[in-house]
Structure 1
């Protein structure tokens, strides 16, 4: 049985009516059927509330409130602490202490964020992603063909993990043989981010160390990969440093090895539960891009966190500097104030774009890659597998935190 995190005292500036007890990691409803629990939150809790769990933090679940906060880095900062405090903290660390990497540019605000994000844009542009489409298709076919004769599989370890992770490892120039090690490291890192700042910082060092040999090797012997590209990059006229390479590597490692796996898992889970939709998409594959977008909206899964940098009001509540705010994007995309019948999968939904990839300056850099991977996966599964269904004897398993994630999704077919 999972134990909830210990509640903390409610600060004086939090009114009682703003408090709603919700554990972002261990809420039983989230672990049983996450998006149904999100719909329950939208019915029971205000669009923005404060929970005493997970160290105490604000949680925004309303679309309008999340959209506004995402586009206001002046009040809602992506940096874990003010720049001056961060510099003082780093200067105070013992000289013999290993350096703590910072995930660049995701932990930055404009204008710094803009400068440090720019070197990555080309590698994730629509043109660059389209150039990888055929290799994505080949790998998807390889993974699907490996299980088709069995009549069943656990979709997460069999297909959803190795497909985007192997593509990403190739982009980075990291050895595919280390995939299990890297995936374990990602889970450990994400758990640490909801435990304490110290644990998260130490995990950042561990992640950088896991890639350090490849990072250093590409400095002397560049290859056709993202690490080599970054080594050749200058920022503000200054050459790349090992320290900044570690920072970039931590961000790319975490973002590339965990997010789209869950988009695939939730999308295939919906297809497995809806044979009529499978039949419709098999009959007309041109509908798959629309289906991909609606699946992303219906099962949004990421929860970015912001630090309140200046006193501000959001959702009718006053927030103070130092407060933390979780942007619960799954709630935004199921908000009935924004979408008509949001619980329904509507293939040709009109008018309202989802924010599964976020909004504002931190909108997901890898969104083009994720879309292509999802569309290719759905296309190849519908081409190469007979109608597939959920395994009635083995229910899906979930975990939660900064991402609502699927650990296991058993499927069967005839």
Structure 2
């Protein structure tokens, strides 16, 4: 069976979409995309319209250009994060029989302003630069432990042995979830993010499963608070009312998904680039103070998240007619490779003047965990430069990838001389 046979079935083009804006691309299973994601993105940037409609995965818009992504991210009245409208969700809940599990709503990411602020504000302190900086020493110690555990071997599968356990352990500890359930939690998140379903209602059982996996910890922290995020959330008020178990489940599903998947993929893309560029490794080893600048350019060059939006009303956006209830993907990886925004956008340039990427999105839904992600990325690059000799890709075992709402690295085999 050919790789192309694995793509999702094509659906009919809506009447208002002109043929010139149709481009065939499956953001989950496109063969070239899965083989080498950012090379395929460069091809799309060069050959696809700045905004196009794809017939795959139920049919949806892809926002490619930097301007389209930046403007749509800030226009929550036109591009909603509420995939099931609030009134519809309320009606659905009202029809549930007594005793049915709560339907978790990931907050604040699936809530639009002004409701968005009341859920996001309590989390700001936890993820502030000051709070995250206080974690740097413990993150450094964990990264050092993981790198030292493989350095005498001369090889490792970097994703499983370092890139995944480092941020996952950090976040489980921050959240207050048991470390010994790490593999179970990662499996739940992987299944959730790999689902290409266009039906928001189909996600409800998956969100309920995530919430259920944390319920014991929610109750334990309510009755016996500790120094973690879950305990902190029990102490806040939302609209002047004490936190409920439903609020905890709403917060929990968001933090669970975001904290246990995204950073590891950013690390994977960055380390793959370093492994392919020994001269960059040499620069950073000679001058570790350049690591923060190197990190920003790696984030720009290998942006890896694709947030979904729902068109909230009939609009004409950057000359394109869109209809209410159509889906639009903020294709941030393409936005950060837009040659109109970044000269020689395909080139990694440590000395690039404009490194102001939107890897963490823009507008009210800008990534709450961006400070944590930056610290973790910088720390792992610093530790690798300090603890390992020049490393390279294993020519016998090339990297593998997955795509979807997070463009990730599945396996990354590295070798070095010992």
Q: Which category describes the TM-score, using the shorter chain as reference length?
A: over 0.9
In the alignment, structure 1 residue 343 sits paired with structure 2 residue 346:
yes
Candidates 101, 114, 117, aligned match of 2:104 = 101
Distance 1:305 1:78 in 2: 7
In the alignment, structure 1 residue 293 sits paired with structure 2 residue 296:
yes
1:61 counterpart residue number: 64
Candidates 162, 168, 186, aligned match of 2:165 = 162
Candidates 381, 387, 391, aligned match of 2:390 = 387
Deviation at 1:352, TM superposition (A): 4.7
Deviations 1:35-70 (A, max 9, x none): 010010011111100011111100001100100000
In the alignment, structure 1 residue 172 sits paired with structure 2 residue 175:
yes
Deviation at 1:167, TM superposition (A): 0.2
1:232 counterpart residue number: 235
Deviations 1:147-199 (A, max 9, x none): 01110001000000000000000001111111111110001111236453233
Distance 2:239 2:30 in 1: 45
Q: Is contact 1:156–1:407 with CA below 8 Å preserved after alignment?
A: yes
Q: Is contact 1:193–1:199 with CA below 8 Å preserved after alignment?
A: no
Gaps of 5+ in 1: none
1:355 counterpart residue number: 358
In the alignment, structure 1 residue 403 sits paired with structure 2 residue 406:
yes
Distance 1:163 1:257 in 2: 10
Gaps of 5+ in 2: none
What SS class does the counterpart of residue 192 from structure 1 fall into?
A: coil
Deviation at 1:348, TM superposition (A): 1.8
Candidates 270, 282, 292, aligned match of 2:285 = 282
Distance 2:82 2:32 in 1: 30
Distance 1:234 1:198 in 2: 29
Candidates 37, 42, 45, aligned match of 1:42 = 45
Deviation at 1:100, TM superposition (A): 1.4
Distance 2:43 2:408 in 1: 18
1:90 counterpart residue number: 93
In the alignment, structure 1 residue 313 sits paired with structure 2 residue 319:
no
Change (3 A) 1:352 1:372: closer
Distance 1:397 1:291 in 2: 24
Deviation at 1:118, TM superposition (A): 0.5
What SS class does the counterpart of residue 355 from structure 1 fall into?
A: coil
In the alignment, structure 1 residue 255 sits paired with structure 2 residue 258:
yes
Moved more, 367-376 or 350-359: 350-359
Distance 1:61 1:234 in 2: 39
In the alignment, structure 1 residue 7 sits paired with structure 2 residue 14:
no
Distance 2:227 2:100 in 1: 33
Q: Is contact 2:84–2:200 with CA below 8 Å preserved after alignment?
A: no
Deviation at 1:122, TM superposition (A): 0.5
TM-score (norm 1): 0.98
What SS class does the counterpart of residue 125 from structure 2 fall into?
A: helix
Counting only pairs closer than 5 Å after superposition, residues 175-194 of structure 1 correspond to structure 2 as: 175-192=178-195, 194=197
Candidates 325, 329, 341, aligned match of 1:326 = 329
Distance 1:92 1:74 in 2: 28
Candidates 63, 75, 87, aligned match of 1:72 = 75
Distance 2:21 2:293 in 1: 37
Distance 1:352 1:292 in 2: 10
Aligned-residue RMSD, C-alpha: 1.0
Distance 1:314 1:144 in 2: 47
Deviation at 1:12, TM superposition (A): 1.5
1:303 counterpart residue number: 306
1:32 counterpart residue number: 35
1:213 counterpart residue number: 216
In the alignment, structure 1 residue 374 sits paired with structure 2 residue 377:
yes
Candidates 112, 122, 126, aligned match of 2:115 = 112
Deviations 1:44-100 (A, max 9, x none): 111100011111100001100100000000000010032212211221233343221
Deviations 1:215-251 (A, max 9, x none): 1111100000000000001012100000010000000
